[in-house]
Structure 1
Amino acid sequence: MEENLDKLFDYRALIPGSGRFASIVGIGGGAGRVVDQMRKCCLPDVQLYAFGMNRKEMDELSLCGKYLIGQEGLGSGKDRFLAEYECSKSFPAIESVLRGRLVAMFVVCLGGGTGEGCIRSFLQKAREVGNKAIILVATIPHSSEGAEKRKNALGLLKALEPMADALYTVDYDDSRYAMLTEVYQEADRKIIEFTDSLLGMVLRRCMITFDFNDFRTFLQFPTPSKRIDFFMLTGSLDFLRKEVKDWWKKLPAKYSSADEVAMAVFSIENADWSDDKETTEAMDVVHECFLQLPPDAEGKWGIYSDETLLPHRFRLRVFTKCKR
Structure 2
Amino acid sequence: MSKSKIQNKKSKVRTKVGIAGMTPKKPRQEILFQPRIGIIGIGGGGGSVVGEIAKIIHRKRLPHLNKIKFVVANVDYQAIKMAPKQAGTFYFGKEITRGLGCGMSPQLGEKSALQDKKSIEKLLKNCDFCIFISCLGGGTGSGATPVFAEVAKSLGILSLGIFTLPFSFEGSERGKIARNSLEKIKPNVNAFAIIPNQRIFKIIDQKTPIHKSLSAMNNVLVKILEGFIETLYAPGLINLDFSDFKAVLEKESQLTYLNSQEFSGVNRTEKAAEAVLNNPLMNYDISGVQGMLFNIVGSKDMKMSEVEGISKKIESYNPRAKIIFGVMQGNQHHGKIKITLIAVGCGAKEKPKLKKKRAKKTTLKPGEEKQEIEKQGSTAKETLKGPAGLKKEEVAQVAAVEAPAKKEAGPKTIKKKKRTEKIEIIKKTNIRRNALDLHKQAEEDEKKVLE
TM-score, reference length from structure 2: 0.60
Give the alignment of 1:52-67 within 5 angstroms. Answer: 52-61=74-83, 62-63=85-86, 65-67=88-90
Per the alignment, residue 338 of structure 2 pairs with: 315
Counterpart of 2:126 in structure 1 is 100
Identity across the alignment (%): 20
Residues 122-171 of structure 1: per-residue CA shift (max 9 Å, x gap):
1111122221x111111111101112211321232133211100001211
Structure 2 counterpart of 1:286: 310
What residue in structure 1 maps to residue 48 of structure 2? 33
2:409 match: none
Shift of 1:230: 2.3
Letter in 1 for 2:256: I
Alignment partner of 1:213 out of 228, 240, 243: 243
Structure with more of its chain in helix, by fraction: 2
Which structure's residues are more often strand, by fraction? Answer: 1
Q: Is 2:160 the partner of 1:135?
A: yes
Per-residue CA deviations over 1:83-117 (Å, capped at 9, x if unaligned) read 22222232232111211321122111112211111
8 Å CA contact 1:29–1:58 kept in 2: the answer is no
CA contact (8 A) 1:266 1:286 kept: no
The residue aligned with 2:188 is: 163
Partner of 2:126, secondary structure, is coil
Which of structures 1 and 2 has the bigger CA Rg?
A: 2
Q: What is the alpha-carbon distance in structure 2 between the residues aligned to residue 228 and residue 295 of structure 1?
A: 17
C-alpha distance in 2, partners of 1:235/1:152? 39
Secondary structure at the counterpart of residue 250 of structure 1: coil
The Cα offsets for residues 245-287 of structure 1, whole Å up to 9 and x where unpaired, read as 76786266655xx8633333221222x42x3xx3335324334
The answer for the alignment partner of 2:71 in structure 1 is 49
The one of 215, 227, 232 aligned to 1:185: 215
Taking structure 1 as the reference length, the TM-score comes to: 0.81
Q: Which residue of 1 aligns with 2:143?
A: 117
Letter in 2 for 1:282: E
Distance 1:221 1:296 in 2: 17
Kindly tell me the number of residue pairs found equivalent between the two proteins: 300
- Does residue 263 (structure 1) correspond to residue 291 (structure 2)? The answer is yes
Q: Deviations over 1:184-239 (max 9, x none)?
A: 333322333333323442223322111222111212368xx611112333212633
Query: Comparing both chains, which one has the higher relative contact order based on Cα–Cα distances under 8 Å and sequence gaps of 6 or more?
Result: 1
Cα distance, 1:244 vs. partner? 6.0
Comparing 188-197 and 167-176, the one that deviates more:
188-197
Inter-partner Cα distance in structure 2 for 1:94 and 1:307: 41
Q: Partner of 1:230 in structure 2?
A: 258
Partner SS state of residue 94, structure 1: helix
Q: Please tell me whether residue 70 in structure 1 is matched to residue 93 in structure 2.
A: yes
Instruction: Give unmatched runs, 5+ long, in structure 1.
Output: 1-11
User: Does the 8 A contact of 2:261 with 2:275 survive in 1?
Assistant: no
Residue pair 2:162, 2:193 contacting (<8 A) in 1 also: yes
Amino acid corresponding to residue 66 of structure 1 in structure 2: T
Q: Which amino acid aligns with 1:32?
A: G
- For residues 145-164 of structure 1, what are the structure 2 equivalents within 5 Å? 145-164=170-189
Q: Cα distance, 1:181 vs. partner?
A: 4.6
Q: For residue 131 of structure 2, give the secondary structure of its aligned residue in structure 1.
A: strand
Match of 2:270 in 1: 242
Over the aligned positions, Cα root-mean-square deviation in angstroms equals 2.8
* Off by >4 Å, runs of 4+ in structure 1: 178-183, 244-249, 251-255, 305-308
Task: Tell me, in whole angstroms, the C-alpha distance in 2 between the residues paired with 1:65 and 1:246.
Answer: 37
Q: Secondary structure at the match of 2:267?
A: helix
Structure 1 318/204 Cα, relative in aligned 2: closer, same or farther at 3 Å?
Answer: same
For 2:162, the aligned partner's letter is V
Residue 6 of structure 1 corresponds to: none
Structure 1 pair 88–152 and aligned structure 2 pair: CA distance change class (3 A): closer
Which residue in the other structure is 1:84 paired with?
Answer: 110
Which amino acid in 2 is paired with 1:211? Answer: D
- In 1, are the aligned partners of 2:297 and 2:339 still within 8 Å (CA)? yes
Cα distance in 2 for residues equivalent to 1:26 and 1:238: 39
Deviations 1:165-185 (A, max 9, x none): 000121112221456555433
